[in-house]
Amino acid sequence: MPATAERSQCLIGGKWVDVDAARYADVWNPSTGETISQTPMCSAADVDRAVQSALRVFPAWRETPIVDRARIMFKFHSLLLAHSDEIARIVSLEHGKTFSESKASVTRGIEMVEYACSLPALIYGDVMHNIASGVDSETIRYPLGVVAGITPFNFPAMVPLWMYPMAITCGNCFILKPSPRVPLSSIRIAELLVEAGLPEGVFSVVHGDKECVDAILTHPDIRAVSFVGSTQVAKYIYQTGTANGKRVQAAGGAKNHIIVMPDAEMSPAVTGLLHSAFGCSGERCMAGSLAVAVGDRGDEVVDRLCDAANKIVVGRTDTRDDVTMGPVISKQHADNIQKHIDTAEKEGARIAVDGRGVAPSDAPGGFFVGPTVVDQVTPKMRISRDEVFGPVLSVARAKTLEDAIELGNQCPYGNGAVIFTQSGRAAREFKHRFNAGMIGINVGVPAPMAWFPFTGWNQSFFGDLHIQGKEGMQFYTQQRMIMTRWFEPEHVDRHDPVWRPGHK
């Protein structure tokens, strides 16, 4: 199916099919504002078709040796590498990331496939001999059955790859519902997974909005749901899914703090702030959106940030590779970001760099917000608490590290937090006391690689087992504990040397 097909199809039973949808959502090119495709809003019946197809093939897939399942992932990995530039171009087209950002996100997704290929060395259980007299005990991991993933618009290639390679290699069947705003890269990657030799029905793709989501959350034969998105929706996903007897891992939003200590090396600190706040146009849950300058270097931090932010080249990403920041996902989102900036200004903050009204000459219809630096932010301002999810960096001041940590610990979220310092003692205090699940020390974006879990805390995550790493494998499997005792048969001649302990 071409990347810019008029309407996206669903993958059900190993076949690309058109669904008889009553509603469709437009897919835009954010660089121009033009409609490039349409996404069908699937019904509960469409979801059920995918589930029934998965249920038919699950017994055989579950019994497929894990080394054979992993070999399919190896083929998939090779195809992803061969088509990584193509996939990145699709991501840039439908989402608006720069090509380098899109390519990096595809690479991070491929790393998760590599990790899934290593599952035969990870999924084995434990054995203890003679745990009691004559009794041995062991654990074995089994797949759950049919599981599902609901993924966001901001990383249309990477986030789905966080989920289904692991789930499928564990022996499950997987149903993916990508964001209706960015279905094209998910579809192209799914084509490659089919090409890798995955049996029909093991992997499905459906599309839609709340109706489709609710069908997934309430379907009695879907055992687990993975989700990444906003906190409000994550909470709903978790509550509804668990109420219907499912395992749920639901990653939500964030307000990530970056503390700059007086002894920080300023050049790498500013570079880290810049990449964290404005990379991917700020549309990521690991974006550093609140810088906290400790001591008397606040003005220097702001001046350097302003100088660097003013050098960022904003422009269309569908045809140009020379820009360093692209558009945001939609006009509605661009308007919402600008309202956050308006509110901050009304509440007394100083707009040190203003990204409102940015319109590249070659893309007047695009959804653009330029890099924005908001200075003199206080805890009472909305922008210090709300997730803006755009290229807006707020700057607050704190007298001491203690004050900075206390400010952060008042935040209801808990995805990531960063400190820039040369003090081992300050770093140690920070990493043990800041109320967030992913900590960076002189690292602007402490997003874990595939081998480690994405460990959001508080209102940034709902569930027990996180996405990625060993926890990802644990989420998609269930353990069985087996205790074994063998009795000596009564009819055996105990004097027969064959049955004597130690007989050779």
Looking at residues 298-316, what average pLDDT do you find?
97
The confidence band for 490, taking pLDDT boundaries of 50, 70 and 90, is confident
| Residue 185 one-letter amino acid | S
Q: Which CATH class is domain 256-441?
A: alpha beta
DSSP of 49-100: HHHHHHHHHHHHHHHS-HHHHHHHHHHHHHHHHHTHHHHHHHHHHHH---HH
Average pLDDT over residues 405-424: 96
Contacts of 55 (CB under 8 A, 6+ apart): 145, 146, 173, 221
Neighbours of 503 (CB within 10 A): 8
Are 222 and 51 a contacting pair, CB within 8 Å? yes
d(CA 470, CA 103): 25
Looking at residue 504, its pLDDT comes to: 54
Q: Which residues contact 182 (CB under 8 A, 6 or more apart)?
A: 27, 91, 94, 95, 153, 156, 329
**DSSP code for 433:** H
**How sure is the predictor about 105, in pLDDT bands with cuts at 50, 70 and 90?**
very high
CA angle 60, 56, 20 (to 5 degrees): 140
Q: What is the pTM of this model?
A: 0.94
How many residues are there in the chain? 504
Question: pLDDT tens digits for 50-73?
Answer: 999 999 999 999 999 999 999 999
Phi, psi values for residue 336, rounded to 5°: -65, -40
> Which region holds residue 134: left if phi is over 0, alpha if psi is between -120 and 50, else beta?
left
In the chain, % of residues over pLDDT 90: 95
What is the model's pLDDT at position 4? 46
Task: Sketch the domain layout of the chain as residue ranges.
Answer: 10-122+131-252+454-482, 256-441
Percent of the chain surpassing pLDDT 70: 97
pLDDT at position 132 is: 94
- Which of the following is catalytic: 42, 117, 170, 285? 285
pLDDT band at 488 (very low <50, low <70, confident <90, very high): confident
10-122+131-252+454-482 CATH: 3.40.605.10
Helix, strand, coil in percent for the chain, rounding step 5: 40, 20, 40
pLDDT of residue 273 exceeding 90, the answer is: yes
pLDDT at 495 over 80: no
Tell me what pLDDT residue 500 has: 63
Residue 1, pLDDT score: 38
Query: Are 38 and 6 in contact, with CB atoms under 8 Å apart?
Result: yes
Q: Once rounded to an integer, what is the mean pLDDT over residues 211-219?
A: 98
Does residue 255 have a pLDDT over 90?
Answer: yes
Residue 266 pLDDT more than 90?
Answer: yes
**Does the pLDDT at position 491 exceed 90?**
no
User: Is residue 498 predicted with pLDDT exceeding 90?
Assistant: no
Place of tokens 């007989």: 503
Structure tokens belonging to residue 26? 């437009």
* Residue 170 is a catalytic residue: no
Around 293, how many Cα atoms within 13 Å sit in the side-chain half-sphere? 25
Q: What is the pLDDT of residues 129-161, one digit of tens each?
A: 999 999 999 999 999 999 999 999 999 999 999
- Determine the average pLDDT of the residues in 99-127: 96
- The pLDDT of 246-272, averaged and rounded, is 97
